[in-house]
Amino acid sequence: MTSTTHPGDAVVAEAGPAAWRDRKRYLWLLGLFVPTMLFLVLPISWGLNQAGWHTAAQLPLWIGPILIYLLLPALDLWVGVDGHNPPDEAMARLENDKYYRYATYAYIPFQYASVLFGAYLFTASDLGWLGFDGGLGWLGKIGVAFTVGTVGGVGINTAHEMGHKRDELERWLSKITLAQVWYGHFYIEHNRGHHVRVATPEDPASARFGETFWEFLPRTVFGSLRSALRLEAQRIRRLGKNPWNPRTWPGNDVLNAWAMSIVFWGVLVAVFGPALVPLIVIQAIYGFSLLESVNYLEHYGLVRQKRENGRYERCTPQHSWNSDHLVTNLFLYHLQRHSDHHANPTRRYQTLRSMAESPNLPAGYGSLIAVTYFPPVWRKLMDHRVLEHYDGDITRANIHPRVRDRVLARYPAVA
């Protein structure tokens, strides 16, 4: 199955709302493959063990990285782009259909079932029922940790979908989802920080032209953390309270989100023992690094221009890189339709539209995450696209200060 639409093509809005049906309605359930994949690969491991291939039997436990770096890129290439938006007249009905939110809620119990099962596999000394002689070797343990981290990393996107909503239940479910990877502060920083400062030099989650992913990663991790603490302290002060008073801490959305992580992992360490600690660390770092690699590619080099009054122009579809590749969108709840998300942050994923005027990535997020790890490849792929987006005037881009002089010398401003 190959789409005839290509990135950057006009997107079709299907007419006839009375007859219109969301052809992706049940395909959204593919997102549940991620939190269940550790269970789904067990028959493969068992079969390999029965064949006497005991080392190879540990490789299916790497299903998380296999999905991110191999399966999603291959499926995006095979299936192609979506190319269809719902008609305007169907938007309200689609937005209010609770089936779609239940599809995201379902991620959470499977997510934590995978974490618990991963903790068991990581620490078990006897996995004879799976065909192993004793417990897993480090090849299998690290695979489990990375797969659990993948579940948590994709879970951040699920939390992102729920955290934007006004419903109190969804906001708490967002925090619960983030607790696995110790990234509860994302709930604050993304909504009240990133969406305000997006595509500006002040935003720690907007990558700059010429900035490598490895420079961006610590800047966004620590910058977002500082911003979340500052924003929450400001909110508490506006209520006439002291954010440093322990009495206010239960109502501090950063601290109570972190408390969930401490309690959850504290209980698991008590159950499975300190041997679980390497899994806790590996899965958290890998999980939030997946998020940050996506942050890196979503706004790379794009910037909102300052007006004469010193304020930035309004965020438009021109300030986010988009991709309408169908498969990754199904796994990430339309995250790749990023311009519409920034224009309408509370809009539910099923109604997000692909905008033809947005700059388009050459492939889906699933294909590009690995590319971000290799700066020369990334820059060869993307720098000319940034330059073309600004009609050859690189001075209009968000340039990393370290390379600014070199970039301006290489790409003189267009008269």
Tens of pLDDT, residues 323-357:
999 999 999 999 999 999 998 898 999 999 998 78
Distances (CA, A) of 368 to 32, 73, 160, 363: 22, 8, 20, 7
Q: What is the pLDDT confidence band of residue 413, given thresholds at 50, 70 and 90?
A: low
pLDDT averaged over every residue in the chain? 93
Compute the distance between CA of residue 377 and CA of residue 299 in angstroms, rounded to an integer.
Answer: 17
List the chain domain ranges.
25-410
Return the axis-axis angle of helices 168-179 and 253-272, rounded to nearest 10°. 50
User: Which H helix or E strand runs over 141?
Assistant: helix 138-163
Q: What is the pLDDT confidence band of residue 21, given thresholds at 50, 70 and 90?
A: confident
pLDDT confidence of residue 165: 84
% of the chain residues with pLDDT over 90: 85
Helix (H, G, I), strand (E, B) or coil at 222: helix
pLDDT confidence of residue 2: 38
Is the predicted pLDDT of residue 17 greater than 80, yes or no? no
> pTM for the full model?
0.93
Top-confidence residue, 313 or 7: 313
Compute the distance between CA of residue 328 and CA of residue 76 in angstroms, rounded to an integer.
Answer: 7
Closest CA to 312 of 195, 172, 142: 195
Is the predicted pLDDT of residue 407 greater than 60, yes or no? yes
pLDDT confidence of residue 11: 54
Q: What are phi and psi of 85, to 5 degrees?
A: -115, 150
pLDDT confidence of residue 5: 44
pLDDT confidence of residue 46: 98
Is the predicted pLDDT of residue 148 greater than 80, yes or no? yes
pLDDT confidence of residue 83: 87
Q: What are phi and psi of 153, to 5 degrees?
A: -65, -45
